[in-house]
Amino acid sequence: MLDGQQRLTALNVGLRGFYETKRPRAHWNNPGAWVKRRLYLDLLKDARLGADEAEPEDGMRYRFSFRAEGSDGATGGAYWFWAGRILETRTNDDLEDLIESEQGSLPEGVGTGQIRAFNRNLRRLHEVVWRDDVVWHHTEEDPDYDRVLDIFVRANSGGTPLSKSDLLLSMVTARWTEVNAREEIFGFVDRINGELARPNNFSKDFVLKTCLVLSDLPVQYRVQNFSDRNLGLIFERWEGIKAAIEAGVNLANRFGLDRDTLLSANALIPVIYYLHARGGVALRGTTASDGKNAREIRRWLTAAMLNNVFSGASDNVLRETRRVLRERIEDGETDFPAEALDRRIAELGRATGLGDAMIDEVLSLSYGDRRAFLALTLLYDRKDWGLSGFHQDHVIPRSLFTDDRLREAGVPEDRWERYKELRDRLGNLELLLPEENVEKSAKDFATWVATREVGFRNEHLIPEDDRLLSLARFEEFVSAREYLMRERLRGMFGAD
């Protein structure tokens, strides 16, 4: 049986079984301290909802309760009936005898409406147990375990959501006898999501899939790839895998990539593989090698996400990028092979670089788009985006783009909508430290930028012509700044 065992067990306990509770302050070894409880139904509770009656908050139309054995009968306005007795009334004649017998035990003062509810409840209980075909089943002939798991996940969609990892964890737990695999993996997911520099949103599925990739096993997230042999290999490498995943997530967090800006978790897996294959390097140092590889990884990872390289069916991309990384490292290369990865991915019909068409698409991004932050980080030669909480700032402040301010600046009315469209485009966005952003918001931009250090305008690609900083020439400003952005991206990615 694939699913339903717990439901059937609970039903069987309710109708045939019992459970015991300890009386308060009684000793555990005292037999009289334990109370046997069975499932009872209040036959006087009207399960019908009137036209003006609200749906019960708990969603329960019938009143069931586990009560001390022997609680049958009337008490406190209820009439409790041990649900298991319905098993003795298989035929309609048995049911009529039961109704007649129980009605004779009803206390005086029970109204006609309650008697009708009493009858309906007993008859409905009998129907559910003896007449209704309420157990759905399906015999699955296909031995494909992944198909079976997909059916299991769909069948549980109305209850507690389950993912394939919830089911695979049972297999891992059975194989990893030295540790509690469930606690180990759940604890690790909690750590990388909540205990690192930035909040993240990685899943158990991500961790298990990364285990396959880092162990040089088939990358498809399928049950057959988690065989006993493969699970044993993953367990042998588990500590190193954990360290590499955490190093990769830490590196992404330093780039400013977190639950809000990491557009594809799978895009990070090749980076994690590289760190793992290099013997667990973390690229935290200030050596020339660490700096170079961190910059190259940031550029490659950001462009890969902007290009949606790892969206959709990405197993083939993961397999091929792993092959390139493994071959380069086995040949003794230590640098992250971004160009080789790009070439192989291009052969697969995808691209990680930014050609002219992609640069145009990037420049059309607007404030509020999750990709805008990624695109902006490419324009700066930094690697600490995640350490200082940079703000996306409008170079020419948004507050200036009201009808009144545009009229005062002498902007023709037929250009107002165009101004408001350009206001939020990448060409009017920059990344500033929080304190810089606060300071700038209180000043005219032309005045404020004059107080910056010499390299500020070049770093933020602000046109040198101060006349373009006025609201009246905003379109020209955006055009000039997008030209500078385009040239910087073309130089970075070698666009033709």
144 vs 224: CA distance, rounded Å: 9
Whole-Å CA distances, 159 to 57, 153, 154, 162, 435: 18, 10, 10, 9, 47
DSSP strand E in 420-480: where?
Answer: 429-432
Cβ-based neighbour number of residue 14 at 10 Å: 17
CA distance 262 to 249: 10
Where helices occur in 331-415 by DSSP H, the ranges are 338-347, 356-363, 370-378, 385-388, 403-408
| Structural tokens at position 59 | 């969603």
Q: How far is CA 119 from each of CA 60, 368, 474, rounded to the nearest angstrom?
A: 19, 61, 79
* Residue 415 amino acid letter: R
Give me the sign of the Cα torsion angle 104, 110, 112, 115.
negative
The torsion angles phi and psi of 65, rounded to 5 degrees, stand at: -160, 140
pLDDT at 148: 59
* Per-residue model confidence as pLDDT tens digits over 185-211: 999 999 999 999 999 999 999 999 999
Say how far apart CA 426 and CA 460 lie, in whole Å.
12
Domain residue ranges of the chain, discontinuous segments joined by +: 5-131, 190-353, 360-493
- Segments of the chain scoring below 70 in pLDDT: 1-7, 49-60, 134-164, 383-388, 442, 495-496
Contacts of 41 (CB under 8 A, 6+ apart): 62, 63, 64, 80, 81, 83, 121, 125
**HSE, side-chain direction, 13 A CA sphere, residue 271:** 29
Burial code (b: 16+ CB inside 10 Å, e: under 16) for 267-282 equals bbbbbbbbbbbbeebb
**Alpha-carbon distance values, 463 to 80, 140, 397, 443 (Å):** 83, 67, 16, 19
Q: Which of 146, 298, 269, 157 is nearest to 206 (CA)?
A: 269
pTM of this prediction?
Answer: 0.69
Instruction: Measure the CA angle with vertex 355, ends 267 and 372; round to 5°.
Output: 55
Can you tell me whether residue 307 is helix, strand or coil?
coil
The tokens of 12 are what? 């069987």
pLDDT at position 144 is: 58
β-bridge partners, 73: 80
pLDDT tens for each residue of 434-450:
888 888 886 788 999 99
Taking only the tens place, the pLDDT of each residue in 214-246 is: 999 999 988 888 888 999 999 999 999 999 999
Burial (0-12, 13-18, 19+ Cβ within 10 Å), 214:
buried
The predicted pLDDT at position 52 comes to: 39
Q: What DSSP line would sit under 218-287, residue for residue? A: --S--GGGS-HHHHHHHHHHHHHHHHHHHHHHHHHHHTT-STTT---SGGGHHHHHHHHHTTS----S-S
Residue 330, token pair as written in the block: 């086995």
How much is the pLDDT for 139?
A: 67
